[in-house]
Amino acid sequence: MQLRRRHTRPDPEYEAFIPSSRQVVSSVAPACDRPVAVQAVAHAEITLLMDALAFSAAKHRNQRRKDVDASPYINHPIALARVLAVEGNVTDHKALAAAILHDTLEDTRTTYEELQEQFGRTIAEVVREVSDDKSLSKDKRKQLQIEHARHLSHRARLVKLADKTCNVRDMAAHPPHGWELSRRREYFDWAKQVIDQIRGTNARLEAAFDEAFAARP
């Protein structure tokens, strides 16, 4: 989905305390028996994930989830990446990075250009794919998520599966403050409608979603 591009000023607070690894010259010492080239690739992927964590934490730094305890927002992107890696067996570092960054366009002042600059076009595109257009009404956005799901790329589908699984788990265990039973049930049903469009993407993740959905109140 195309988001309206928001041209905002760079975020000096982020720049101030997180030097991008793109500016850091790194050398990989041969710390194990694997060939140096293999270590270098692994190191580059780990570095990208660390950068994504630092970037997302900085961007969401003043945000909280909607549960009674107002949990730190960053717990949610971390939970997505964990679901993908641990429960979904996903090793694609670009999908994992996109999961960590998945709410930055929609919920912070981050721009597409900023993501592209920091993480490259592929990851920026996945984040854009899973971002709602906030200029639309909530009901329209929810309808479009159902309609657009089947057109998502494979990586965006993985992120979508993890996002809905984490949110449904939260909705059961730490629901948004003040949400009536009917509203929580509506959320479960809507999430399932989205996920039903993308079945056949990753059996482990779909099983994780179904298990989370079984806790529908």
**What residues are annotated to the active site?**
106-107
Minimum distance of Zn ion from residue 130's CB (angstroms):
8
Residue in 2, 7, 33, 180 binding ligand NDP, rule: CB under 6 A = 180
Q: Which of the ranges 5-13, 37-45, 64-72, 147-155 carries the binding residues for ligand NDP, by CB under 6 A?
A: 64-72
**Residue among 58, 88, 99, 103 that touches Zn ion (CB under 5 A):** 103
What's the CA gap between 84 and 156, in Å, rounded?
12
Instruction: Answer whether 166's CB lies under 8 Å from 79's CB.
Output: yes
Is residue 62 a contact residue for ligand NDP (CB under 6 A)? no
Interface segment toward ligand NDP; rule CB under 6 A; list 22-30, 115-123, 149-157, 179-187: 179-187
Rounded Cα distance between 21 and 117, Å, is 12
Q: Is 132 a residue that touches Zn ion (CB under 5 A)?
A: no
CB closer to ligand NDP, 67 vs 92: 67
Tell me if 104 sits within 8 A of 56, measured CB to CB. yes
Give the one entry of ligand NDP, Zn ion, none that residue 186 binds, where binding means its C-beta sits below a cut-off of 5 to 8 angstroms depending on kind: ligand NDP
Question: How far, CA to CA in Å, does 69 sit from each of 31, 108, 177, 179?
Answer: 43, 21, 9, 14
- Determine which residue in the list 22, 121, 140, 183 makes contact with ligand NDP, applying CB under 6 A: 183
CA nearest 173: which of 158, 188, 162?
A: 188
Minimum distance of ligand NDP from residue 41's CB (angstroms) = 31
CA-to-CA distance for 90 and 68, rounded, in angstroms?
Answer: 31
Q: Using CB under 5 A, which residues numbered 162 to 181 contact Zn ion?
A: 163
Cα-based angle 176, 214, 131 (whole degrees, multiple of 5) = 50
C-alpha distance from residue 99 to each of 16, 44, 124 (Å): 24, 18, 11
Q: Does 69 bind ligand NDP (CB under 6 A)?
A: no
Number of residues that bind ligand NDP (CB under 6 A): 20
Outline where DSSP puts E strands in 58-123: none
Q: Is 129 in the site for ligand NDP (CB under 6 A)?
A: no
- The C-alpha angle with vertex 75 and arms to 74 and 81, in degrees rounded to 5, equals 95
Under rule CB under 6 A, residue 135 binds ligand NDP: no
List interacting residues with ligand NDP (CB under 6 A). 65-67, 76, 103, 138-139, 142, 163, 167, 170-171, 174-176, 180, 182-183, 186-187
